[in-house]
Structure 1
C-alpha cells in the first residue's frame, strides 16, 4: 500500500509539470518576428529545455508579418502552420540528452512534453522587404525564465504573452502588434 501511494504521488508530481497549454502566436504587425523560441521547466527549475529550430525557408525561427500559428504540443509542432520540425535540447542536469531531436522523437513526447512548458520568444522585428530591424523583445512567462517579460512596447510595435483559461483548459498566447 505504501508503494502505491508513493507511485501515485510521483505520478501527480510529474503530471503537475506536464505541458499544460497550447501556444497560439498571432503576428498582427507589418514585420517578421525572428529569433529564439524557448521552453523550460515550470517555476524556473533546473533541467532540460529546448529551442525551436529554424522553420523553412527562414534562417531563424520566424513568424512572418501577418501570420498566425498554433502549437498544441511539442511533439506535434511539426504539423503546425509554421512547423517546428526540430527541437534543440539542452540539459544542464544530464548533458547526454543534449542535441537535436525531430519533433516526433520519443524523447520529445515522453520527456519534454511531460516536463516542459512554453517559456518565451526572444525576437527582433524585421522589415520583410529590407531586412532592417526595428524593435526587439524578450516576451514570455517570467515565472519560467526571469529574463522574459509578459508585455512590452517598442518604438514601432508592442507584444504580449498571456494565458486564458476556459472550461476546456488553458491556452497561452503571444500577440505582436
Structure 2
C-alpha cells in the first residue's frame, strides 16, 4: 500500500509541473520575430509540438510591437496572436504524429498535461540593412541548446519564469 501511495504522489507531482504556466510573449522591438515555437517534456523523451504558421505569415511569427498570451495549448487559438494548429511529434508513439487543431481533444487531454513551453528559435531581420539576429531561447531542461537570454547586433531577448502565489508565468521579452 505504501508503494501505491508513493507512486500516486510522484505522479501527482509530475502532473503538477505540466503545462500550468501561461506563456506571455512581448515583442517590444520594431522587427517581426519569425521562427519555431516549441513545447516538450523536461528531462524525458516524449511528445512535443511546434506552433504552425499563423496567417498571413509563412511561419510562426510574433509581429513587431505585439503582445500575446497563451494560457494553455488547447486555448492557443483564442490568443491575440493565435496558434490555431499544432504539429505533434512523438517518437515513443508515432501514431500520435501529425497536425492537430488547437482545440482537438488530443491537445487538451494529452499535450496540456504532459508538455511545457520549451522555447522559441527565432530571428529578427532589419530590412534596411539586411542584418539578422538569431536566438534560441527557452528552457534548457527541455532543449539543451537553448538559453535564457541573448544579445544580438540590434536586439536582445530574455526567457524567464516568475512564480507567484497564483502560480508560474513564463515570459519571452524581445527588445
TM-score of Structure 1 vs Structure 2, range by shorter chain: over 0.9
State the SS of the aligned residue for 1:42: coil
Question: What is the Cα deviation at residue 37 of structure 1?
Answer: 0.2
Confirm or deny that 1:50 pairs with 2:49. yes
User: How many matched pairs?
Assistant: 175
- Aligned residue for 1:101? 100
Shift of 1:20: 2.1
- Could you say which residue in structure 2 is the equivalent of 1:135? 133
Instruction: Go from structure 1 to structure 2 and tell me whether the alpha carbon gap of 1:9 and 1:51 turns closer, same or farther (over 3 Å shift).
Output: same
Deviation at 1:134, TM superposition (A): 1.7
Secondary structure of the residue that 1:148 maps to in structure 2?
coil
Q: 1:32 to 1:107 in 2, by over 3 A?
A: same
Query: CA 1:115–1:60 in 2, change beyond 3 Å: closer, same or farther?
Result: same
5+ unaligned residues in a row in structure 2: which ranges?
none
- 1:114 maps to 113
> Residues of 2 paired with 1:50 and 1:167: CA distance?
28
TM-score, length-scaled by structure 2: 0.92
Question: 1:1-177 residue pairs with structure 2 within 5 A?
Answer: 5=5, 8-9=8-9, 11-43=11-43, 45-127=44-126, 132-177=130-175
1:108 aligned counterpart, secondary structure: helix
- Checking the alignment, whether the CA contact within 8 Å between 1:124 and 1:133 is kept in structure 2 is no
The alignment yields a C-alpha RMSD, in angstroms, of: 2.0
Alignment check: 8 A CA contact 1:17 1:116 kept: no
